[in-house]
Chains A and B, each alone.
Chain A
Amino acid sequence: DVHLAESGGGFIQPGRSLRLSCTSSGFNFGDFAILWIRQAPGKGLEWVSYIRSETYQKFTNYAASVRGRFTISRDDSKGVAYLQMDSLKTEDTAVYYCVRDLTRGLALDVWGQGTMVTVSS
Chain B
Amino acid sequence: QSALTQPASVSGSLGQAITISCTGSSSDIGANHFVSWFQQRPGSVPRLIIYEVNVRPSGVPDRFSGSKSGNTASLTVSGLQAEDEADYYCSSYTRFSNILFGGGTKVTVL
B102 touches A103 (CB 8 A): no
Which residues of the other chain, A, contact B34 by a CB distance below 8 angstroms? Answer: 105-106
Main secondary structure of the interface of B (DSSP, over half): strand
Query: Please, how many residues of chain B have a CB less than 8 angstroms from a CB on the other chain?
Result: 29
B45 touches A44 (CB 8 A): no
Stretch at the interface among A15-23, A69-77, A80-88, A109-117: A109-117
A61 touches B51 (CB 8 A): no
Does A108 have its Cβ within 8 Å of any Cβ on chain B? yes
Residue in B40, B47, B97, B103 whose CB lies within 8 Å of A61: B97
Does A47 have its Cβ within 8 Å of any Cβ on chain B? yes
Expressed in whole angstroms, the Cα–Cα distance for A44 and B47 within the complex equals: 14
B101 touches A46 (CB 8 A): yes
Which residues of the other chain, B, contact A109 by a CB distance below 8 angstroms? Answer: 48, 51, 57
Does B64 have its Cβ within 8 Å of any Cβ on chain A? no
B51 touches A103 (CB 8 A): yes
A107 touches B48 (CB 8 A): yes
Q: How far is the CB of A35 from chain B (nearest CB, A)?
A: 8
A108 touches B38 (CB 8 A): yes
Residue in B33, B48, B87 whose CB lies within 8 Å of A108: B48
Residue in B52, B55, B89, B98 whose CB lies within 8 Å of A45: B89
Expressed in whole angstroms, the Cα–Cα distance for A64 and B96 within the complex equals: 12
A103 touches B52 (CB 8 A): yes
Which residues of the other chain, B, contact A35 by a CB distance below 8 angstroms? Answer: 99
- Given contact pairs A106-B35, A107-B52, a sample of 12 additional A-B residue pairs in the complex whose CB atoms are under 8 Å apart: A37-B101, A44-B101, A44-B104, A45-B46, A45-B104, A105-B52, A106-B34, A106-B92, A106-B93, A106-B99, A108-B51, A113-B45
A-B contact pairs, 10 of them (CB 8 A): A37-B101, A44-B87, A44-B103, A97-B45, A106-B52, A107-B51, A107-B52, A107-B57, A108-B51, A111-B46
Task: List the interface of chain B (C-beta within 8 A of A).
Answer: 1, 3, 33-36, 38, 40, 45-48, 51-52, 55, 57, 87, 89, 91-93, 97-104
Sort A-B residue pairs by CB-CB distance and give the 4 closest, nearest first: A47-B99, A107-B51, A44-B104, A106-B36
